[in-house]
Amino acid sequence: MLKEIPTCRIFARIGKSQLHAKNFVFDGKVGIVGTYNMDYLSEEVNSEVMAVINSKPFSEELRETILSDVKESVEYRLGTAREPEFGPENIEAKNKWLIKICSKLGWLRPLF
């Protein structure tokens, strides 16, 4: 997916003050904030979400926050892997079973 977006840059903040969030600003008008990892586990087991805010003032403030955070972050650059990459086919059968069971127990989440 990122191969199709050549201007996309990925930064990770390193240090004591870390926040598990994914923040995006599109066209200076739409801000997106959340923890969703865009994977099965985030959607079905962890119940992670994203909020989409259609507001130019909010998006401008979010952009400034992102740029401030970037100053204290490490940039990751994409490349071609020489070794096979990890993916769903690499997960052991017992782990697949555990993920499947956990996804079925989502109704227990309000109890914790």
Reported as a pLDDT band with limits 50, 70 and 90, residue 85 is low
Q: In angstroms, what is the C-alpha Rg of the chain? A: 17
Contact indicator for 23, 52 with CB cutoff of 8 Å: no
Q: Let me know the angle formed at the C-alpha of 75 by 69 and 40, rounded to the nearest 5 degrees.
A: 90
Q: At 55, list the tokens.
A: 């507001």
> What tens digit of pLDDT does each residue of 6-43 get?
788 888 877 776 667 889 999 999 999 998 887 777 77
Q: What is the largest CA-CA distance in the chain?
A: 48
Q: What local confidence, expressed as pLDDT, does residue 13 receive?
A: 77
pLDDT at residue 90, as a whole number:
60
CA distance 98 to 46: 13
User: What confidence category does residue 58 fall into, taking pLDDT thresholds of 50, 70 and 90?
Assistant: very high
Bigger pLDDT: 75 vs 95: 75
The fraction of the chain above a pLDDT of 90, given in percent, is 23
- Average pLDDT for 67-89: 76
pLDDT at 107 over 70: no
- Tokens 């401030």 locate to 68
Domain ranges for the chain? 2-80
CA–CA gap between residue 82 and residue 60 (Å, rounded):
40
* DSSP code per residue over 45-59: IS---EEEEE-HHHH
Predicted local confidence at residue 64, as pLDDT:
96
Residue 48 contacts residue 42 (beta carbons within 8 Å): yes
